[in-house]
Amino acid sequence: MSATQHPKPADAATLTGAEVVLRALKEQGVEVIFGYPGGAVLPIYDALFQQNAIRHILVRHEQAAVHAAEGYARSTGRVGCVLVTSGPGATNAVTGLVDALMDSIPVVCLTGQVPTHLIGNDAFQEADTTGITRPATKHNYLVKRSEDLARVVHEAFYVAKSGRPGPVVIDLPKDILINKAPYTEAPTEAHRSYRPVTEPDAGAIRRAVALLKGAKRPVIYAGGGVINAGPEASRLLRDFAKLTGFPVTNTLMGLGAFPADDPQFLGMLGMHGTYEANLVMHGCDVMLNLGARFDDRVTGKLSHFAPHSKKIHADIDPSSINKNVKVDVPIVGDAGAVLAALLACWQADETPQDKPAITEWWRQIDAWRAKDCLRYRQEGKIIKPQHAVKRLYEITRETGRETFITTEVGQHQMWAAQYFGFQQPNRWMTSGGLGTMGYGLPAATGVQIAHPDALVIDIAGEASILMNIQEMGTLAQYRLPVKIFILNNEYMGMVRQWQELLHGGRYSESYSAALPDFVKLAESFHAVGMRVTDASDLDRAIREMIAIDKPVIADIAVDPKENCFPMIPSGAAHNEMILGPGQEGGVAGVTDEGKVLV
Amino acid sequence: MQRTATIAVLVENEAGILARVVGLFSGRGYNIDSLTVAPVDEERRLSRITVVTSGTEMVIEQIKAQLDRLVPVHKVSDLTREGPHLSRELALIKVVGAGDARIEALRLAEAFRARVVDATTESFVFEMTGNADKLDAFIALMRPLGLAEVCRTGAVAIVRGPRGLHA
Ligand SMILES: Cc1cc2nc3c(=O)[nH]c(=O)nc-3n(C[C@H](O)[C@H](O)[C@H](O)COP(=O)(O)OP(=O)(O)OC[C@H]3O[C@@H](n4cnc5c(N)ncnc54)[C@H](O)[C@@H]3O)c2cc1C
Ligand SMILES: Cc1ncc(C[n+]2csc(CCOP(=O)(O)OP(=O)(O)O)c2C)c(N)n1
Ligand SMILES: [Mg+2]
């Protein structure tokens, strides 16, 4: 904290605390805030009422406020902002905060609190918000002195967006909001203790280039950190891939960092990644990890992970490096800065590449690709979920409209990742780390607020969508034409798939019984509903959905028995993938050791 | 291979900082062998935490990186890796007894340079400073002689020589 910077006497306490908060938000460039009122934050709502600079979007549940802010943040590269009341308002927001923490999304969440003199007394709607959210945030603050208020708001934005981004909570006791407080501008000097490293070490870059130049079977494994680093980093990634000729794979969080239709793209890797991406990871001799965190969904069995490779890992957070996987060349820095340095160093270095080896590597990769692991058969009336996503992709692409996709969590999420191609960063929002069902609809709300003219589609499951279905009200109120594309398989499909493969087909509680009539549900929320049950009707329905300038729920009845492949069962290695029916793959049984894994 | 590490952490002296550090250890399943904290620089509002922990090399590196990414943390230093360092802990040790055992306790206390800070006809409180091993050894010797109560501060530690730990 900056004790050195004394508050400038500027407007010595002519504003209320609530007004100071709004002024600081404005100075931080906040245009939209997602929130829900309550007693403890009424002073802020009162101040909001009396100004026009910041637009408030009233959600229907505080969890949704955070997801909406995440969608807003991920699709714009800006900090998402949330306002909730004390007690239940704050506790409802916790799932969203952890979601943003796991996926490194910059969010600032203002929570109301009981007045300072009541803290600790079990006052009405009191919760120990800073205690509860300490492990749910990158950092949090409880403001107990009016003179700290402006500084804390500015600092919160700095912390949320710098280094590895994440959620920050500011807990605001009601008396602090009502009392007069001095305003101070955002400090220009560096933070006292938090100064993340963004520029990579030159020696590490040279060691990386030396390894990469000598690579015979290289791979670039790029993750969410490249998205966090901004669109320029994705451009540099493309340049680097072109320069080196290396294959590129993306994590779930990294999709869009490299164009899906680029011939050097292998698709997603990991548990539901492509055959070629996983075998390339398994067989590589040099791996360049850019802003990915060796998640267990990606590495599979650690002792068998890329066993013959030298690993380079560039990450802005030193704690991500050598956490799960020991690497040979650690590079701490921003993915964009690292890529720029790698490009410059590569070009300055005269060592030739082993071109024949790389050509041979691509021959091998093409053979793996020929397996066509995402092949499926759409025959007859019953819609294959893969086909539904593929047609959604192709048709939206034909329209040429700027398209953003969000998802819920489950099989549909994986099919979206596999069959929807992302050519640019920031077009894909999904809950990767926490895997929060109910993320997609509020996230889409946030995206649509940020991009009013774009096509925003939540690819959903019939179970997940019910977890934040109340946000249909938000869509209606703000006339947000979000499209909800439900792959309705009448099951918690991902759960059913694990039960089929791991638990002897005992489908315990995974059937989606007593579903609502989604058409009527849409209509009751002033939206348009449609149901599609016949494959021959799919294209027409998608076109119609896209053309409607209102929120739409498209309830697509898909094959309830379909499983998501390829799949690396928990605890198995990359070369032990299970492929879809009719394709031979590895024959990993699930070990007992694997069964305990999530 | 497990090792023990003595880690010094310079932090902002602010509400909740200890909860952040302790929460980090419990939340991520790291060991705390001992932990001490006190303000060390009033003017700059800095406190120093000394934490003794153990784990594999990879885990200890993780612990340091995780501590370092806490926003109010200024500096993390692995004293065990920094070279020679001094580690001291203070203990108050109550021994209750009479006769030979009492005399033997006093004799051993002298040998260990433990000070008598309280005495009654049937008890002593010894104050002892030293590294953890020395305290362990003395406490073990007191056990058969009427050891009644022990309290220890946990280690504080500093690197030898002119080099200092700065924010
Ligand atoms: C049902 C389900 C199935 C899943 N299956 C898969 C799967 O098959 N494959 C898969 O990949 N994932 C899968 N996931 C997602 C998975 O759980 C992880 O969320 C994901 O793999 C993490 O992506 P990432 O490694 O890119 O890291 P992220 O979570 O995006 O983390 C980003 C990393 O980059 C760093 N970073 C941040 N900013 C910067 C910057 N500016 N510069 C440099 N570094 C930066 C961060 O410190 C962090 O280490 C699945 C999730 C669910 C819910
Ligand atoms: C909040 C929450 N609760 C439970 C889970 C565990 N879970 C993961 S996928 C899933 C089923 C999702 O079903 P649906 O939305 O219909 O998607 P499908 O897999 O059928 O495509 C469940 C229950 C979760 N990820 N999030
Ligand atoms: Mg389903």
Of A584, A564, A507, A562, residue with least CA distance to A297: A564
Q: What is the ipTM of this complex?
A: 0.95
Is pLDDT of A286 > 60? yes
Instruction: Look at residue A2 in the predicted model and tell me its pLDDT.
Output: 45
A459 contact partners, CB below 8 Å, separation of at least 6: A389, A392, A405, A406, A407, A408, A412, A413, A415, A416, A420, A440, A485, A487
- The CATH 3.40.50.1220 portion of chain A extends over 202-369
Say how far apart CA A539 and CA A544 lie, in whole Å: 9
A321 contacts B65? CB cut-off 8 A: yes
Q: Walk along chain B (167 residues) and give the pLDDT tens digit of each residue.
A: 999 999 999 999 999 999 999 999 999 999 999 999 999 999 999 999 999 999 999 999 999 999 999 999 999 999 999 889 999 999 999 999 999 999 999 999 999 999 999 999 999 999 999 999 999 999 999 999 999 999 999 999 999 999 998 87
Query: Which of A437, A439, A484, when mutated, tests ligand 2's pocket best, judged by the most ligand atoms within 8 Å of its CB?
Result: A437
Which H or E element spans position A193? none
Higher confidence at residue A417 or residue A595? Answer: A417
Of A378, A406, A376, residue with least CA distance to A539: A378
Share of chain B above pLDDT 70, in %: 100
Instruction: Look at residue B158 in the predicted model and tell me its pLDDT.
Output: 96
Of A539, A406, A387, A547, residue with least CA distance to A465: A406
Say how far apart CA B152 and CA B90 lie, in whole Å: 6
Say if residue A432 is exposed, middle or buried (CB neighbours under 10 Å; 0-12, 13-18, 19+): buried
SS (HEC) of A116-173:
HHHCCCCCCCCCCHHHHHHHHCCEEEECCCHHHHHHHHHHHHHHHHCCCCCEEEEEEE
Q: A11-15, A100-104, A275-279: which range is least confident on average?
A: A11-15
Is pLDDT of A262 > 80? yes
Q: Cβ atoms within 10 A of the Cβ of A132, count?
A: 19
Q: Cβ atoms within 10 A of the Cβ of A411, count?
A: 24
Tell me if residue A477 is catalytic. no
Instruction: Look at residue A399 in the predicted model and tell me its pLDDT.
Output: 96
Is pLDDT of A5 > 70? no
**Could you name the CATH architecture of A385-557?**
3-Layer(aba) Sandwich (3.40)
Average pLDDT over residues A45-53: 97
- Nearest ligand 2 atom to the CA of A434 is 25
A164 contacts B12? CB cut-off 8 A: no
Instruction: Look at residue A590 in the predicted model and tell me its pLDDT.
Output: 66
Instruction: Look at residue A586 in the predicted model and tell me its pLDDT.
Output: 52
Average pLDDT, chain A: 96
Share of chain A above pLDDT 70, in %: 97
Instruction: Look at residue A450 in the predicted model and tell me its pLDDT.
Output: 98
Q: Tell me the residue ranges of DSSP E strands in A495-562.
A: 528-532, 552-557
Higher confidence at residue A131 or residue B82? Answer: A131
Tens digits of per-residue pLDDT, A565-577? Answer: 999 998 899 999 9
pLDDT band at A597 (very low <50, low <70, confident <90, very high): confident
For chain B, list the domains and their CATH numbers.
2-83 (3.30.70.260), 86-156 (3.30.70.1150)
A436 lines ligand 2 (CB under 6 A): yes
Q: Would you give the DSSP letter of residue A523?
A: H
Is pLDDT of A535 > 80? yes
A198 Rama sector, left if φ>0, alpha if ψ -120 to 50, beta otherwise: alpha
Per CATH, the number for A9-184 is 3.40.50.970
Cβ proximity of A41 and A88 under 8 Å: no
Say how far apart CA A199 and CA A338 lie, in whole Å: 7
**A164/B contact by beta carbon, under 8 A:** yes
Q: List A residues 317-346 in contact with B (Cβ-Cβ < 8 A).
A: 317-319, 321-323, 326
A461 lines ligand 2 (CB under 6 A): yes
**Could you name the CATH architecture of A202-369?**
3-Layer(aba) Sandwich (3.40)
Say how far apart CA A254 and CA A249 lie, in whole Å: 9
Average pLDDT over residues A189-215: 97
A435 Rama sector, left if φ>0, alpha if ψ -120 to 50, beta otherwise: left
Distance to chain A for B157, nearest Cα, Å? 22
A197: chain B residues, CB-CB within 8 Å: none
* Annotated catalytic residue, options A34, A70, A161, A174: A174
Instruction: Look at residue A10 in the predicted model and tell me its pLDDT.
Output: 53
Cβ proximity of A291 and A336 under 8 Å: no
Average pLDDT over residues A115-122: 98
Say how far apart CA B126 and CA B94 lie, in whole Å: 6
Cβ proximity of A429 and A71 under 8 Å: yes
Alpha carbon B89 to its chain's center: 5
What does the DSSP assignment read for B92-111? EEEEE--THHHHHHHHHHHH
- The CATH 3.40.50.970 portion of chain A extends over 9-184, 385-557
Distance to chain B for A46, nearest Cα, Å? 30
A322 contacts B61? CB cut-off 8 A: yes
Distance to chain A for B91, nearest Cα, Å? 32
Say if residue A532 is exposed, middle or buried (CB neighbours under 10 Å; 0-12, 13-18, 19+): buried
A259 contact partners, CB below 8 Å, separation of at least 6: A238, A265, A422, A423, A424
Distance to chain B for A164, nearest Cα, Å? 9
Q: Would you give the DSSP letter of residue A255?
A: T
CA-based nearest residue in chain A for residue B27: A135
The residue nearest atom 4 of ligand 2, judged by CA position, is A437
Instruction: Look at residue A3 in the predicted model and tell me its pLDDT.
Output: 45
Share of chain A above pLDDT 90, in %: 94
Q: How many residues does chain A have?
A: 598
In the block, residue with structure tokens 């793996």: A368
Instruction: Look at residue A9 in the predicted model and tell me its pLDDT.
Output: 52
Q: At B158, list the tokens.
A: 């500093």
Say how far apart CA B11 and CA B71 lie, in whole Å: 9
Q: Where are the alpha helices (DSSP H) in A245-384?
A: 275-283, 296-299, 335-348, 355-369
Tell me if residue A494 is catalytic. yes
Is pLDDT of A11 > 60? no
- Site residues for ligand 1, CB cut-off 6 Å: A 103-104, 164, 223-225, 228-229, 251-254, 268-273, 291-293, 295, 297-298, 315-317, 320, 334-335, 409, 413-414, 432-433, 435, 494
Say how far apart CA A161 and CA B23 lie, in whole Å: 23
What does the DSSP assignment read for A284-302? -SEEEEES----HHHH-SG
CA-based nearest residue in chain A for residue B14: A1
Tell me if residue A437 is catalytic. no
Is pLDDT of A1 > 80? no
- Nearest ligand 2 atom to the CA of A487 is 21
In the block, residue with structure tokens 């006497």: A9
